[in-house]
Structure 1
Amino acid sequence: MFGPPAATLGLIEPNFIDEIEAQVREFLDLIILNAIKKGNNQAMTILEKIRSCGVPLNMSTLYATLRELERKGLIRSEGARNKRYYLTEEGEKYLEQHAERLEKVKEVTRKLRMTRAIGIPMMLSALRELMTNMDKLTPEDKAEITEALGNAFITIKKILVKYVE
């Protein structure tokens, strides 16, 4: 489902990937159920709410997850074209049973918003592009990138040393 590039390279064990995928599914289930509970009943509204939390979700993944939640009996839908989604009694119970986990999910989404605000997704995108083009770089380009990353690392460590216990 989400297989990271490292898995393709054989750097991550397959069962580790399965565990991550299961956690991502649970994460999505909880944030979608919570969004519905808070009155976000249409797919577009749910999507906007989740994206505003810093989670890069696309519509097809949302619809697939909504169908799965409905199949599990955690939500029900009404309407044909502009479906509205509602928690079932089972969905309410699920959220109650996973309240502690939901709080952790909320903390993760809060941190995702913060990482987006300081440019982490842009940096990760640049690093992915760097990995893709590594073989094409000249020695001068590699030296310049090495220096830039080294300076960024030093700056970040100087800031973070204040917070390490």
Structure 2
Amino acid sequence: MKRACGMSVIELIIVITILGILIALGGGWFSSDRMRVNQAAQILSADVTRARLEALRRNVPVGIRFDFRPGANRYEIVADADQNGLDSSDPVISRTQFGAGEWGRVQGSLRQCTNADAAAASSAEVVFDARGVYQLATSRSVQLSIGSYSRFVNINQQGRAQIRTSCP
């Protein structure tokens, strides 16, 4: 008598069911919302470095001005050409708008993760002087999120940006 080799229909259904459950559970890790938040955090981190390098290149203070009010949800890299502080007359080097296009659902906010952050909360700017030195003695934290998923971009006292999963 010959024995049948291979899988039965029941075994095949069980394997497909297990694979479907694993794919459904793992799908959240690859969601487009997570990728958008991660990409926005990487771009903000790179723009912090860009602002520092622009200050060195232009030999004037350059800052990042955050505006996360409802309807604005953006930040700008601004050159302080007249060297009287960042104001509306200064030229904008670049502007990144959240809530539109690729980052349609990304929301930004300044966070107060430490007591030092709370002391600097009145300023929504990060400024580098003409030598590329960060002008605040405290760190700044920016939270980028979609729903419950978020990333924190921490700008430390040396002016370097780090992407974190929680407040530092």
Normalised by the length of structure 2, the TM-score is: 0.27
Which protein has the bigger helix share? 1
Larger radius of gyration: 2
Normalised by the length of structure 1, the TM-score is: 0.28
Which of structures 1 and 2 has the larger relative contact order (alpha carbons within 8 angstroms, sep 6+)? Answer: 2
